[in-house]
Amino acid sequence: MIQQEKDFQGFSMSGFWMLLGHIVVMPALVVGLALAASKGIIGIGLAATIIVLIGIFWIISMIGYMELEPNQARVLVFFGKYQGTFTKTGFYWVNPFFAKKKLSMRARNLDVEPIKVNDKAGNPIMVGLVLTWKLKDTYKSMFEIDSQTMATSAATGTTTVSSIMKAFENYVKIQSDAALRQVATHYNYDNNEGDANELTLRSGGEEINEILENTLNERLAMAGIEVVEARINYLAYAPEIAAVMLRRQQASAVISAREKIVEGAVSMVKMALDKLSEEEIVTLDDDKKAAMVSNLMVVLCADEQAQPVVNTGTLYN
Contact (Cβ atoms closer than 8 angstroms) between residue 126 and residue 238: yes
Query: Is 0.85 surpassed by the pTM of this model?
Result: no
Provide the pLDDT confidence category of residue 316 given band limits of 50, 70 and 90: very low
* Strand positions, DSSP E, 70-107: 72-78, 81-86, 90-94, 98-104
Provide the pLDDT confidence category of residue 133 given band limits of 50, 70 and 90: very high
Provide the pLDDT confidence category of residue 49 given band limits of 50, 70 and 90: confident
Evaluate if residue 248 carries a pLDDT over 70: no
> Which secondary-structure segment (H or E) carries 50?
helix 44-61
d(CA 138, CA 72): 11
Contact (Cβ atoms closer than 8 angstroms) between residue 98 and residue 77: yes
Evaluate if residue 65 carries a pLDDT over 80: yes
Stretch 161-179: mean pLDDT, rounded? 89
Domain covering 108-237 in this structure, CATH number? 3.30.479.30
Per-residue pLDDT reduced to its tens digit, 253-281: 666 767 777 777 777 777 777 776 777 66
Q: Would you tell me how many other CB atoms lie within 10 Å of the CB of residue 168?
A: 25
DSSP structural state of residue 188: B
Contact (Cβ atoms closer than 8 angstroms) between residue 212 and residue 129: yes
d(CA 72, CA 37): 48
